[in-house]
Structure 1
Amino acid sequence: MAATMENLYRMLKLFKSSQKIASCLHRNIARVKLFRNQWSTIQKYSILKLSSKPSALTSITTVCAVSWFTKKDGAESDVVKEPSVMEKADELYSVNETIALYNLLKNNVDETDDEILWRFARACCDMSKMTKNIIRKKEYMYEGFEVVKKALKLNDNNFACHKWFAILLDKTAEFEGTKKRIENAYLVKEHFVRAVELNPKDATSMYSIGHWCYLFADMSWYTKKIASAIFSTPPSSTYEEALKYLEMAEKADPDFYLWNHVYLGKTYLHLGEVEKAKWYLTRAREFKRQNISLDEHEAQMEAFRTLLNHKLIDPKQQKKEEAT
């Protein structure tokens, strides 16, 4: 009888010990869930610490809890966000991958996104510059113009929509002749000016106004006659006004565009500042980098011709330099 009572007493002690362990497990699992992802909290409230004689169950519970949280955190950190179409487009544009950029945007055109649309219009313009086929040139320009018209209609407060509308309005007019370009002249300038108002730091829009001013300051008597027949007050400008905008563009973003250097050089020549003209034209001509675009190459050739025509370089010396 005494032995039976003693055995019963031992079983009760073991039962109470098990209750304590179970209670500890319950409390600490709740704490782990509450402070998930906090390893220090798991350490602080570890079941191994609270139990002087940890059983296999406590060890498994703790390891499983830590392992579960660790896997979850690891899975989250391994997730790589897929670049958006816009991010991919900007990356391709930065490395002059014009064909890939055009194909990307053509296959992902969002008729409700002005940011995608103006980028596609720009890609169309660049594709037109790349090809020597006159029919394809025209197709790309008109494709871009139709796209940018939609972009501008979606968002009249997007400076890039105004800028590319103006560029493509003038570029498409080139295929229709001098008269059409003059007819569009005021509207072209109006959109460039609006682009600068919306983004005073955009060097391309400033350059475009400067280029517009240069063209009308440098207009031949024949072109002036056509302009007079179209407008009672035909568009006009001065080299001083052209220089103002070209210098603004260069100040806003130094060396951003070779054609800005070329027209700064040409404008300084008209204003009699030969040394400044030579500096900008030489800078454009000697520009070097990998993967140079066709547009940049044409700017270099124009800089070279201008230097040569104004006898600012020695043709013989030029041949020697090319030979070496």
Structure 2
Amino acid sequence: MKKTLLFMLLPLLSILLQAQETVVIDGVTFSVDKKTLIKYSEDKTDEEYVVPEGTEIISEHAFGHNRHLQVLTLPLSLKEIGDYALAGSGLKTIIWNTYPNVVGIDIWGFRSAGDSILSSFLTTDNSDNCTSIDGVLFSKDKKKLLGFPPAKIGDRMRGKYEIPEGTEIIGKEAFLSADIAIVVLSSTVNRIEKRAFSVSSLAIAGSYLNTDALSNVFCKAMTPPEIIWNPFIDPEYIDLYVPEESAETYRNTDYWKDFKTINGKSTDSGIQQMKQSSNLESWIENDILYIECDETMSKITAYDTNGTCFWQGDIHENKWHMATGEFPKGVLLLEVTTSGGKRTEIKLLN
């Protein structure tokens, strides 16, 4: 009897303990020390909210699914924004008093949460490390572009943004889910970080596939900027334009040479440049293509002899296979991207 009673009380004790660790203030759940904003209620109907000073962390998914809130002010005390913290919300404007040191992934958008309608990033006179230029968020010294509101331009087919001269770094996921097609990189840009230009998804013409890549990039930098991980997501779909005197340098620089064209000419990332990797094995047997990798694969792209992409798929395994009945005959190029961002090119004879 005592064991049965204890078993029945355990869930209640768990709820009571959790309640002791949190506090709810006007529909917003915080940790008991009020340093972490855990959840902004989906049913809260206020159109504006100021996160209290003293708040250091905004938890993942904290503002998700609230479609009423339109203007959010972040405090000077903020140190961290968790993954997907603002994704799926109805926010239109964020007022930044500081840009936190720790920023999670996809903080204001991911495909299944719906399109973000954020159109403006603003700052205050008290903002300590960031500033707003025409609604776009930069570091205080204006050398790093931190965030571009996804719906600022709102034209995925023709929208264009020109990065101001003096900007040196494009930050991680800076253009996340942005509805734009064309970016002009200033001559001063020297570093582009992880997924910087992972823009909103668009169907690829003549294909059942989608891409999160821009259509055109104009880079004024004479020297190819440093690349961190994969900032342009699918460079093989992007036409790149650079200073003519630097075109050959770009064509011979890792990652930049992977763009679809450079100054109107097809890049030479075709079959003759392929290499077999020691950590990846592939073969065709009985019309089935097999690939095994030491790491988890995230994407595989297949090219024909002319360097034209004829198949692409998202992969989340370290082993993969598919029928090759519709593959073109001859020598094939397969580009394998791992979850860690490593890109490997292999050659097969079909």
Q: What TM-score does the superposition give when structure 2 sets the normalisation length?
A: 0.28
Indicate the structure (1 or 2) with the bigger Cα radius of gyration.
1
Larger helix proportion of the pair: 1
Which structure exhibits the higher relative contact order, with contacts defined as CA atoms closer than 8 Å and separated by 6 or more residues? Answer: 1
Q: What TM-score does the superposition give when structure 1 sets the normalisation length?
A: 0.30
Larger strand proportion of the pair: 2
